[in-house]
Amino acid sequence: MDQAQFPGFSRCNNATLRRAARRLGRFYDDALAPTGLKGTQFGLLFQIRVSDEPTMGTIAEALIMDLSALGHTLKPLIRDGYVETFADKDDRRIKRVRLTPRGEIKLDEAIKLWDVAQQRFENMMGKEQAAALRATLDQIAALNLEMPTAAPSI
């Protein structure tokens, strides 16, 4: 009964992806709401935890985010005391990031809620389809998508 998709529209991979992202984002956001974290922030905290005192650039690369965007996104987390940064010993240009004890606790708390949402979503989509989707999405993330406009000259 729902006509949410107009034929021509859903042919755009980008638009379709964004639309699904909005829907899924709100779902995870709602689930995490009790912690005060958004889905994005959760993902960022998690990434910081699994990395070993990563640099800004490392995180940005892993998350395929613009470095400056990462800086912006990190600010509220630093302000709220979940994350802290410190200069690298050997190269003062490099800034490393880590969770504070408060951040570790908050992340543990969020993971519990995330797990509920994750399970709930996978029950609806089916674990296999969800896994296949993530595989495809990772494939997109790994694509070398530069327009061949440049790179001719050495």
Partner DNA sequence: TCCAATTAGTGGCATATGCCACCTTCGCCG
Partner DNA sequence: CGGCGAAGGTGGCATATGCCACTAATTGGA
Q: Which residues bind DNA (CB under 7 A)?
A: 18, 22, 25-26, 29-30, 38, 40-41, 55-57, 64-69, 71-73, 76, 79, 85, 90-96
Q: Is residue 67 close enough to count as binding a copy of itself by CB under 8 A?
A: no
Compute the least distance from the CB of residue 67 to DNA, in Å: 5
Cα–Cα distance for residue pair 106/135, rounded to 1 Å: 29
- Residue 120: both structure tokens together: 């709930």
Q: Is residue 127 close enough to count as binding a copy of itself by CB under 8 A?
A: no
Binding site partner of 68, from a copy of itself, DNA, none, Cβ cut-off 5-8 A by kind: DNA
**Contact partners, residue 108, CB within 8 Å, separation at least 6:** none
Q: Which residues bind a copy of itself (CB under 8 A)?
A: 2, 4-6, 8-28, 30-31, 39-40, 42-43, 46-47, 50-51, 61-65, 114, 117-118, 120-122, 124-125, 129-130, 132-134, 136-143, 145, 147
